Amino acid sequence: MSARRAIRTVFFWTHLSIGLLAGGLILLMSVTGVLLGFERQMIAWIDGAPRVEANGAAPLPLDTLLARAGVARADVASVLIKRDPTQPVTIRQRERGAAPILAHPTTGAVLTPSGDGSGQRFFSALRRWHRYVGAEAGALRAQMKVLNGVANLIFLALVLSGLYLWWPRRWSVARLRATAWPQWKHRAGQARDFNWHNSLGFWFALPLAIIIATAAFFSFRWPGQYLDLALGSDQERAAARVAIAEARAARQDAPAAAESRRDAATEEPPPHPVRAEDAALATYIAAAASARPDWAQLTLTLPDAKASVVRIAVAEGNTYRPDLRWTLDVDRASATVATSSGYDDLSTARKLRAWVRFGHTGEVFGIPGQIVATLASAVGVLLVWTGFALAWRRLRQALRRRRRSVPAVAALPDPSLESPAALG
C-alpha cells in the first residue's frame, strides 16, 4: 500500500468514525438551523409585529416620546430609532426581564403586536435546542453548550476531511460527474446517497465551514481569545493573555468560580440616577444624525452617572454589516460629538470578530445570505442522512462478505443418536 493510499484510508475511517459519533448532534443543529434560517422575519409574521402608517408628521423629540409612552428617562437602558417611518421606536428598560416597549414615532402611543407572542416563544425554544440541546438553565445547560460545541468542531473536521476524500486521485469527466454534480435521477439506493453526499458536500463546503467556524465563538471563549492573541492590538493581546490564564486557574478551582458567578448573577444592578447637566435626548440624536447623515438606524444607550458621554451606535444600509457601523461618543452636557470610531479603527482580530454574529446567520449579506445559510443547514441534514445510510450499507456488505468467507463444515454424526442395531 502506497503512502498516499494509507493516508486516505486513515482519513476515511476517521471521517466515518467521528461522523457516526457526532452525527446525532450535527443532525439536531442542522435541522434547527434550517428552522431558524428566517427567524427574524418569521417572528414578525407570526406575532404580528406592529408597523406604523406614515402620516407625514415629524417624529417627536425623544424626551416627549418617552413622556407620552409613560416611561421615565431613568428607567430606560437604550432607545432604537429607525429611519424608516413605518418602524416603531424600540425602548429597552433597565429592569431585568422587562419586555421592550414599542412606541409610535410621531404620537408616542405604545404599540402592541397583534399576536400572542407564540412566535417568539417557539423560536426561543428552538434556539435553546440549537445551542444547548434543549437544556434550560444551570450546570446542565453549560455542559450541553460544551457538548454541542465539540460536535460543531467535529462537523468542521468532517467538512475538511470530506474535501480531502472528495479530491479525485485521477481527474476525469466521469469522476466529476459522479462526485461534483448532483444526479437527481438517482431516486434511491447507494448511488443516490454517494452522489448527494459528495456533490452537495463539495458545493456547500465553504458556506458550511463559515457557519461552523462562527458558531465556535458562541460555544467557547478561547477562539476569540486566541484570535485576539494572534491579530489583536497590544491591549487586546494583553487582555487575552490574562483571560487565558484566568480560565486555566478557574478550571483548577471550578466550584469556587461557579459559586462566585452565581453570587454575581443574583446581585441587583444599582439604581441609575440622571445627572442634572444632561441635555435633552433629542439633541444627542440630532448630533449623531448630523455626523452620519446616511444613517439607517440609531441606538442611544443611556450612560451611568459617572460617564461623561452618551454612546450612540449608528448603522447605515444593511444594519447587520459591521463595516457600515460607527460608534459615536456624544458629550452629555454640550451634546457635541466627542469621538467617532468605525470599522477601519478596529484591529484585525476585532474586524474578524465583528462578522461572526450575523455571518453565522448570513444576514451580513442580506436575504441572499440568509437563503444560502438556510440551504447549507439543509445540506447538513442530507450529509448526515446519506452518511449514515452509506455507513449502514458498508456494514451490511462487510457482514455478508464475512459470512461467505466462512467455509461450510459438514456435520459429524452424534453417536448417541445411533440405533442399537447400527451399533451391533
Q: Tell me: the pLDDT tens digits for 165-178?
A: 999 888 888 888 88
Going residue by residue through the chain (424 aa), what tens digit of pLDDT does each one get? 688 889 999 999 999 999 999 999 999 999 999 999 999 999 999 988 888 887 778 899 999 999 999 999 989 999 999 999 889 999 999 988 788 999 999 999 999 887 788 999 999 999 999 999 999 888 999 999 999 999 999 999 999 999 999 998 888 888 888 888 888 776 778 888 999 999 999 999 999 999 999 999 999 999 999 999 999 999 999 999 999 998 888 777 655 544 554 454 445 555 545 454 578 999 999 999 999 999 999 999 998 878 889 999 999 999 999 999 999 999 998 999 999 999 999 999 999 999 999 999 999 999 999 999 999 999 999 999 999 999 999 898 888 888 887 665 555 555 554 554 444 4
What is the per-residue pLDDT for 351? 96
What is the per-residue pLDDT for 22? 96
Location of C-alpha cell 434550560: 136
CA 188 to chain centre: 33
What is the per-residue pLDDT for 168? 86
CA Rg value for the chain: 30
CA dist 4 and 319 (Å) reads 48
What is the per-residue pLDDT for 54? 73
* Type of residue numbered 201: G
Q: In this structure, are residues 88 and 52 in contact, taking their beta carbons and an 8 Å threshold?
A: yes
What is the per-residue pLDDT for 414? 54
Q: What is the DSSP letter of 108?
A: -
Mean pLDDT of the chain: 88
Q: In this structure, are residues 108 and 18 in contact, taking their beta carbons and an 8 Å threshold?
A: no
CA dist 306 and 308 (Å) reads 7
Cell numbers for 321: 454589516
Judged by phi (left if over 0) then psi (alpha if -120 to 50, else beta), residue 225 lies in: alpha
What is the per-residue pLDDT for 129? 96
